[in-house]
Structure 1
Amino acid sequence: MNRIDRISAILIQLQSRRVTKAQDVADRFGISLRTVYRDVKALEEAGIPIIGEAGVGYSIMDGYRLPPVMFTKEEAISFLTAEKLVEHLTDTANSANYRSAMYKIKAVLRTTEKDLLEDMDTHIEILQGRRTSTINPDLNVIQPILKSISEAKVIALKYFSNHSQQHTERLVEPVGVFYLDGYWHLIAYCRLRDDYRDFRLDRIQDIRLTEENFSRKHPPLKNHLKNWYEDKDLQEVIIRVNKKAVPYLGEQKYYSGYISERHMDDDTVEMIFLTGSIEGFARWYMMYGDMATIVKPDKLIDRVKELIENISAKLVGTEISC
């Protein structure tokens, strides 16, 4: 990127936020802080009213507005792709809001770009897989959650816990939402459990934004994700299951870390999992052990053998009465 394009991009970045740190600009363009200072000075010399405060960052004076920014073809197509994703992977309200924003974006596009988007619209589709969760369309849960985060409002949830098979009512303080493996999740401080919890949005049966504010300072969402997901010691497991038994695994395979599968020539299906608990996987495998074979790892094989020996020992001398 030449300097003129970079300076223009920096100006757009400054307009996108109330305060922008010099380090953020440097990281985005892969330049030194000294170069950032020089580029910002060039903008100031061009008459852009930039306010800079040491240790805080840069901002543009309130009331200053630039003409609408023109988008490249590639940027316009990326908007269209995002629109498809939002439409299929979020709730009705969020999709409607994004669609409204897209109308405003399309309004400032050149005629050639508008024609391009109309043509490309038929060439991009999002198909929902078997694992994609279905959020109750009447709830529109994402918008209330995001509003509660921005206003620090407590949320009242009616939630179904799949693990305990219980329906509960909870007051939670939301931290953030994220999308993982076909499901939307909410990380929130649960007052019922007095701890942070991961709530699947498709298991929320009712949601209500209360008038109660919370003052507790919560760690950023990325901290929770790093502790709960990124740092897990996930281990690869490969098993081969008789094709006739595959339907019986159903949704349970996803809770055991199912990743993919391929059909073999010997009437079996090879399944690949990533699991954080060999113990838990071994006990789940025992339910279908007579119809499946463990390919790897060896420690899973050893643990299943131990479980079988323990069960056999408890069955010795046991009389079965009718």
Structure 2
Amino acid sequence: MNRLNRLTAILTQLQSKRHITAEEISKRFDISLRTVYRDVRALEEAGVPLTGETGKGYALVEGYRLPPVMFDEKEAYSLLLAEKVIEQFTDREISERFKSALIKIKSVLKDRQKYALDHLDQQVAFYSKDIHDSNRNEQVIQGILSGLADNSVLQFNYTSFLKEENTSRAVEPVGMYYSKENWYLIAYCKLREDYRTFRIDRIRNLEIGEAIFNTNHPTLKAYLKKMEEGHELTKIVIQMEPSFVKYIDTQKYNHGFVLQETIGQKVQLTFMVGSLEYFARWVISLADIINVIQPKALSDRLEVLLTTMIKKLKEGGQTQEAN
């Protein structure tokens, strides 16, 4: 990339967020920090209204825009959902191209919209590769995104899954994620006076209230940890050789998969599950290729299941010999 094209790209990137650090620019264009500083100075000399703030980075003066395109709130929030989906459903090259295009799109957003997208990015997640259109409720999802962005109290009617009980709820939204064919809302429920997880397809008549909350709620990642500590979910960590991951690459999304990382020479997978028994009966088919890191209860249960299986196999063999 020649310098003129790089300067234009840097200007576009500067318009995509409220603040951009020199390190971010350096990483994206694979250039040194010294080159970043020279390029920024060149933009300033060309009349681009830039400001710099220690600890935050560079920013453009509010109102400075290149293309005459504007987005409303719903369109801006839809960009975030599109980015999350593209990350899950395309290969790396297409995903990177989309991110590059998205930076250009974000460059025309207002500061408030940029802040909202940055804020929402930590509150929305995909933990599945199976999307079913029948379970989507676009109007409710847009309302939730607005509530997350503005810290607005949401009001809606909810039908519980087990008891099929209808209740009216007022909640402070914390995060939203997609897993196992459904969207879920995590929120602080004023009726229950505690955090709750709501299946979005069971939410009706959602309204964005005028009340704004200032509660410092946990992030999506922190909430999952909180659920684990509260015994609503059990955290399971297993390791295996990289060559074996292909055997569960699709199935893992139906068993509470949330994280995959490389630890030394092993691939480590983290699951958040509601039923350790259900997980144990699935993963028993992988017993010869996995190491259970935690919890010990899973190792103990697998040992019992395997011992029982071996006993039954021996009994079956003896019966055949007798016949």
Category of TM-score, reference length = shorter chain: 0.5 to 0.7
Partner of 1:12 in structure 2? 12
Alignment of 1:83-162 (within 5 A): 132=132, 134-135=134-135, 140-162=139-161
1:11 Cα deviation after fit = 0.5
Q: Using a 3 Å threshold, how does the CA distance of structure 1 residues 23 and 173 change in structure 2: closer, same or farther? A: farther
Q: Using a 3 Å threshold, how does the CA distance of structure 1 residues 20 and 258 change in structure 2: closer, same or farther? A: closer
Q: Using a 3 Å threshold, how does the CA distance of structure 1 residues 34 and 278 change in structure 2: closer, same or farther? A: same
Return the letter of the residue paired with 2:176. Answer: V
1:213 Cα deviation after fit = 1.8
1:301 Cα deviation after fit = 4.9
Structure showing greater relative contact order (alpha-carbon pairs closer than 8 Å, 6 or more residues apart): 2
Alignment of 1:187-202 (within 5 A): 187-202=186-201
Q: Is the CA contact 1:235–1:276 (under 8 Å) kept in the aligned structure 2?
A: no
Of 232, 235, 240, which residue of structure 2 is paired with 1:232? 235
* Local SS of the residue matching 2:146: helix
- Computed over aligned residues only, the root mean square deviation of the Cα atoms, in angstroms, reads 4.5
Partner of 1:257 in structure 2? 255
Distance 2:190 2:235 in 1: 26
Distance 2:219 2:135 in 1: 25
Distance 1:148 1:64 in 2: 28
Partner of 2:316 in structure 1? none
Q: Is the CA contact 2:255–2:279 (under 8 Å) kept in the aligned structure 1?
A: no
Q: Is the CA contact 1:133–1:183 (under 8 Å) kept in the aligned structure 2?
A: no
Alignment of 1:162-177 (within 5 A): 162-163=161-162, 165-177=164-176
1:248-277 Cα shifts (integer Å, max 9, x gaps): xxxxx9997289xxxxxxxxxxxxxx7746
1:14 Cα deviation after fit = 1.0
In structure 2, the gaps of 5 or more residues are 70-78, 90-104, 106-128, 229-233, 240-250, 258-270, 288-298, 310-323
Partner of 1:49 in structure 2? 49
Q: Which has the higher helix share?
A: 2
Partner of 2:285 in structure 1? 295
Partner of 2:209 in structure 1? 210
Distance 1:282 1:307 in 2: 17
* Largest Rg, 1 or 2: 1
Q: Is the CA contact 1:7–1:43 (under 8 Å) kept in the aligned structure 2?
A: yes
Q: Is the CA contact 2:157–2:167 (under 8 Å) kept in the aligned structure 1?
A: yes
Distance 1:275 1:151 in 2: 29
Distance 2:41 2:130 in 1: 54
Aligned residues: 219
1:307 Cα deviation after fit = 9.9
Distance 2:24 2:226 in 1: 25
Q: Is the CA contact 2:155–2:171 (under 8 Å) kept in the aligned structure 1?
A: yes
Q: Is the CA contact 2:256–2:273 (under 8 Å) kept in the aligned structure 1?
A: no
Q: TM-score, normalised by structure 1?
A: 0.52
Partner of 1:36 in structure 2? 36
Distance 1:166 1:131 in 2: 26
Q: Using a 3 Å threshold, how does the CA distance of structure 1 residues 130 and 13 change in structure 2: closer, same or farther? A: closer
Partner of 1:23 in structure 2? 23
1:203 Cα deviation after fit = 2.0
1:226-255 Cα shifts (integer Å, max 9, x gaps): 7669x932559xxxxxxxxxxxxxxxx999
1:216 Cα deviation after fit = 1.0
Q: Using a 3 Å threshold, how does the CA distance of structure 1 residues 2 and 175 change in structure 2: closer, same or farther? A: farther
1:25-61 Cα shifts (integer Å, max 9, x gaps): 3343344444332221121122212122223322222
Distance 2:279 2:194 in 1: 29
Return the letter of the residue paired with 2:255. Answer: G
Q: Using a 3 Å threshold, how does the CA distance of structure 1 residues 66 and 279 change in structure 2: closer, same or farther? A: closer
Q: TM-score, normalised by structure 2?
A: 0.52
